[in-house]
Structure 1
């Protein structure tokens, strides 16, 4: 029986699986989806290629696992941040500040790489589904603030958030970026609600 580095076999297997996923994320971010192969990921994780197949039947299965886990941290963080907040403008603030905090930690690297990768169609469809679900609370806050469910407004807000993430990834101060982005968004969304013709 191979030597284990955890208290139980189950914990050991969980650690090995996590190591493979982290190694795959690193390969994905650095080299793209095509480079995520059992041999490359096993080598990056310090495991034999045969060990890879004890956890994933194929590279496609590993990519599918990355897709699911890429959004788990962000979903958990935003759910916790919004748990006790009900006013739409405050929910928008909390969601965006949480997103930018995660960006500062590098938590969005896998999802960003997945969105840009040449993934199998089923994986790409799942990425877009999870991305849409993750941003649903933000879209709901925008709708409540403006009084209309505008896809364009949501896209423009999303573009501002993405630009803020990029600034943070390039070394800008997360708090300053968040403050500036939110000031712009509150002004724009307030103007949008004011300019909307009466029903």
Structure 2
């Protein structure tokens, strides 16, 4: 039996499994899904290859576990942030701020790498299913706001959020990025801003309106 580094065997196994998943995430992000092999992951985690199979029957099973766990923490964080909020604008704000804080912690790295990886079809389908479920509160908040074309609006908001996450992942301050992104989104999502844009002479002539 391996040396126990926790109070119980169950805790030890949980730690070992978590170490393998973290090692696999690091390999996945750095080298791609094809590099996630039992030997590579075991070496990265400091465990023998034989130990790998005590927790996962194959590399595919490990990737499936990463798919599930990549969204678990993010789903929990957004659920907590939205728990006491009912107004659509408040929920949109809280969702985006939470996403950017998660991005600053690197929590989105596994999901991003998985969506870009050459995964088995069923695994990739599960990634997209979980991604859609994770973003459902954001889409619901957008649909509850005044205006038409909520699906298109959701796609445009999603693009803004992705750009904001990229900025944060490259070192930008998540609070500052959230403040700026939300200022832009609030301006575009409120009926008043649409009316002002229609009446603005520069907009009517097809010229960009300079920032205030």
What is the TM-score normalised by the length of structure 2?
0.89
Change (3 A) 1:36 1:192: farther
**Alignment partner of 1:67 is 2:39:** no
List aligned pairs for 1:85-164, cutoff 5 A.
Answer: 85-148=85-148, 150-164=150-164
List aligned pairs for 1:168-179, cutoff 5 A.
Answer: 168-179=168-179
Deviations 1:25-61 (A, max 9, x none): 0000000000000000000000010000000000000
Asked if the contact 1:168/1:177 (under 8 Å) is kept, the reply is yes
Q: Distance in 2 between matches of 1:173 and 1:193?
A: 27
Q: Distance in 2 between matches of 1:67 and 1:160?
A: 24
- The aligned counterpart of 1:31 is 31
**Alignment partner of 1:15 is 2:15:** yes
Partner secondary structure for residue 118 of structure 1: coil
Q: Which 4+ runs in 1 deviate beyond 2 A?
A: 146-150, 191-195
Asked if the contact 1:146/1:192 (under 8 Å) is kept, the reply is no
**Alignment partner of 1:3 is 2:3:** yes
Q: Distance in 2 between matches of 1:44 and 1:82?
A: 37
Deviation (angstroms), 1:146: 3.0
- Structure 1 residue runs without a partner (length 5+): none
Q: Distance in 2 between matches of 1:117 and 1:129?
A: 16
Q: Distance in 2 between matches of 1:192 and 1:4?
A: 63
Question: Aligned pair count?
Answer: 195
Q: Distance in 1 between matches of 2:175 and 2:130?
A: 27
Structure possessing the higher relative contact order (Cα contacts under 8 Å, 6 or more residues apart): 1
- Structure 2 residue runs without a partner (length 5+): 196-212
Change (3 A) 1:148 1:192: farther
Q: Distance in 1 between matches of 2:122 and 2:71?
A: 16
Q: Distance in 2 between matches of 1:151 and 1:43?
A: 45
Larger radius of gyration: 2
What is the TM-score normalised by the length of structure 1?
0.94
